[in-house]
Copies of this chain bind each other. A is one copy, B any other.
Amino acid sequence: MTGSLQLDENGRLKHLLTIEGLSRELLTQILDRAETFVAQPRRKSALLHGRTVVNLFFEASTRTRTTFELAAKRLSADVINLDVQASSTSKGETLLDTLATLQAMHVDMFVIRHPASGAAHFFARQAGPGVAVLNAGDGRHAHPTQALLDMFTIRKHKKDFRKLSVAIVGDILHSRVARSDIRALRTLGTADIRAIGPRTLIPAEVESLGARPYYSLDEGLEGADVVMLLRLQKERMSGYYIPSPGEFFRTFGLTRQRLAQLKPDAIVMHPGPINRGIEIEGDVAYGERSLILQQVTHGIAVRMAVMAMILGEGRGRRGKA
């Protein structure tokens, strides 16, 4: 069970693999902990002094890796970045060999990004006692720290998750961010979650996830308090899923004109990096409604919070966990 894989016998976080199975109390505890780091952005903490965090990225993402690297360094951990390409596997070493070897070096935490859904769970199952796994994105499955920073950002600006209308716009089909956000919103009590996009990019199971599908942007944005745009991957732009990037922008892009039709206090979010002129007009991205840069700031704090809760205060040590 996922729940028991992520949590120890006292219900405390052991790995962070997915939002699924985490309680409202635990999500709130993480967000509260992140508040303490946002309040003092430049105070360095010694919580992870002597601990080793390895960023194990099977999918290149300098931006995401940097957020985890900064979070770990601000907690005084030693950080090793490993970009794992085909090369090491071509050396005849399997993924399990790599993981076992790194564990033998007394790594305390692996931050793993992998193109295959389920990879983080796989690694967590193999991890020895006292070794933690953070999922930094696995295939189309989950990206839990992104969902946490999104929730943190919404909470900063909106009072009550239960009364919100949240519109998620774009490529829901391929998005681990969308899956994790919908799950987190549901756990925090949001009932009105809308999945907006062309039919080719809204998966059939969206309703079972807890969101209502909309195939028209204007309809979907009507009365929304929060607009969460998703990144459209370059490889989806070539005609199979959408007619063209320009057509996508005309139909589902957030323009100044559409922004004007939103509720006056609606907020705009995007996990970044943005595609200007595809999901969003450049002016809107850095306009006053946009929280895109706040999301980045909160991303460091949320990652510090998760690392501190899993590894800080003497937790997670071999033989003590």
Contacts and interface: CB of A to CB of B under 8 A. Distances in A.
Interface in A20-67: 41-44, 49-52, 62-63, 66-67
A136 to B, nearest CB: 15
Given A92-B234, A293-B100, A67 B274 contact: no
Interface stretch (A101-109, A192-200, A215-223): A101-109
A83 to B, nearest CB: 9
17 contacts: A42-B50, A42-B318, A44-B49, A63-B101, A66-B102, A66-B105, A67-B105, A88-B273, A92-B234, A97-B272, A101-B273, A101-B296, A104-B294, A104-B296, A105-B297, A105-B299, A106-B297
Given A106-B41, A293-B100, A296-B104, A278 B66 contact: no
Contacts of A299: 105
A190 interface: no
A294 B105 CA distance: 9
A91 interface: yes
A62 B80 CA distance: 11
Of the listed residues A70, A103, A275, the one surrounded by the most CB atoms of chain B closer than 10 A to its CB is: A70
Nearest to A299: B105
Contacts of A297: 104-106
A74 interface: yes
Copies in the complex: 3
A293 B92 contact: no
Of the listed residues A49, A62, A92, the one surrounded by the most CB atoms of chain B closer than 10 A to its CB is: A92
Interface string A120-160: 00000000000000000000000000000000000000000
A69 B62 contact: no
A105 B296 contact: yes
Ordered nearest first, which 9 A-B pairs have the shortest CB separation?
A104-B296, A93-B273, A44-B50, A92-B275, A104-B293, A73-B78, A41-B106, A104-B297, A42-B50
